[in-house]
Amino acid sequence: MHVFERITTLHDFLETKGKQKNTIGFVPTMGALHEGHLALMRRAKAENDILVVSIFVNPLQFNNPDDLLRYPRTIENDLKLLETIPCDVVFMPSTDEMYPTPETTVYDFGKLEQVMEGAFRKGHFNGVAIVVRKLFEIVKPNKAYFGEKDFQQLAIIQKMVQDHNIPIEIVSCDIVREADGLAMSSRNVRLNETERAIAPQIFKTLTDAALKKQELSPESMREYAEKQLKKIDLFDVEYVEIADETQLQRLKNWEDTDHARIFVALQLGNVRLIDNLRIF
Ligand code: AMP
């Protein structure tokens, strides 16, 4: 496994590999790796000649400075896990390496960024787009792998790739969950015992709500899920939305889309959790 901290050395390495007509599968991460990340990597490894993983906690996508400060960093363990895939190339740049000069790029994702995470985390998706675009330019992968855990992020990246004619295939991967249903997340390690015990209620509520499609309109289902979550004292619910999977706009009638999804974001103690589920 080759580990690079500098763009130039990574470039040199990948150029040589590229000349041998290898395909590159890329998985961008912020580290604190768990089984959800590893599933993306195994798939990328299986579908390409070379697996490149980046680990970079991107300050530009944190709207809350405390969240950035408290973001878990477990680099030694991450490298051990990456060896097990096995990963071919790890890119772990410093902030100065990624942003030698202040970033001023402003993306416009229209309606897609005006809802849910975009509405509650101002500037978040602009920061995501800036770093992912830069990483794409550095790594030049054939395919890049993203988790549906961050469903809106996936939609934003798809749009960025389309709008800017970036010749990279975006591959979306299923959410990996703990045995009790909690979506895996780097932030889960920050939950205390009580919070961890109650956290699976998020997925349980989403599944219960989704099963009521025959009897409830999208808005009634949304209200039902919100009410269930608000009954739990420790949950500070930010939003519950039911939207179509392409535009991510609030759904009025089930007939308006083939693929609806329920989304939730809430604060549990000082940890912010998100989850979503397709409604069949
Ligand atoms: P992060 O390190 O949180 O930026 O995540 C890196 C990538 O892993 C993103 O594409 C996430 O959507 C994906 N990811 C994180 N958690 C999960 C999960 N539980 N299941 C599937 N993908 C995930």
Nearest CA to ligand 1 atom 8: 37
Nearest CA to ligand 1 atom 11: 147
> Ligand 1 center to residue 275 CA distance, Å?
11
> Which band of pLDDT confidence, cut at 50, 70 and 90, is reported for residue 28?
very high
As a whole number, mean pLDDT of residues 197-202 equals 98
- Position 219 scores a pLDDT of 98
Q: List, chain by chain if needed, residues with CB within 6 Å of any ligand 1 atom.
A: 29-30, 36-37, 40, 146-147, 149-150, 173, 175-176, 183-186
Buried b / exposed e over 224-258, threshold 16 CB at 10 Å, is: bbbebbeebeebebbbbbbbbbeebeebeebeebe
Task: Give the pLDDT confidence of 123-154 residue by residue, as tens digits.
Answer: 999 999 999 999 999 999 999 999 999 999 99
- Position 18 scores a pLDDT of 79
**Distance (Å, whole) CA 47 – CA 250:** 35
**Distance (Å, whole) CA 75 – CA 9:** 20
The order of strands in the sheet holding 235-244 is 235-244, 260-268, 271-279
Element spanning 139, H or E: helix 124-139
Percent of the chain past pLDDT 70, that is, above it, reads 100
Atom number in ligand 1 closest to CA 150: 12
Task: Give the pLDDT confidence of 231-265 residue by residue, as tens digits.
Answer: 999 999 999 999 999 999 999 999 999 999 999 99
Catalytic one among 11, 37, 124, 259?
37
Q: What is the mean pLDDT of the chain?
A: 97
**Distance (Å, whole) CA 269 – CA 234:** 7
Q: Cβ distance 39 to 64 under 8 Å?
A: no
Q: Is the pLDDT of residue 19 over 90?
A: no
> Which band of pLDDT confidence, cut at 50, 70 and 90, is reported for residue 17?
confident
Task: Give the pLDDT confidence of 29-67 residue by residue, as tens digits.
Answer: 999 999 999 999 999 999 999 999 999 999 999 999 999
pTM for the model stands at 0.97
Pocket test for ligand 1, best of 26, 27, 29, 168 (most atoms within 8 A of CB): 29
Nearest CA to ligand 1 atom 12: 147
**Distance (Å, whole) CA 273 – CA 119:** 15
37 is catalytic: yes
Residue indicated by tokens 């000069």: 101
Pocket test for ligand 1, best of 128, 149, 184 (most atoms within 8 A of CB): 149
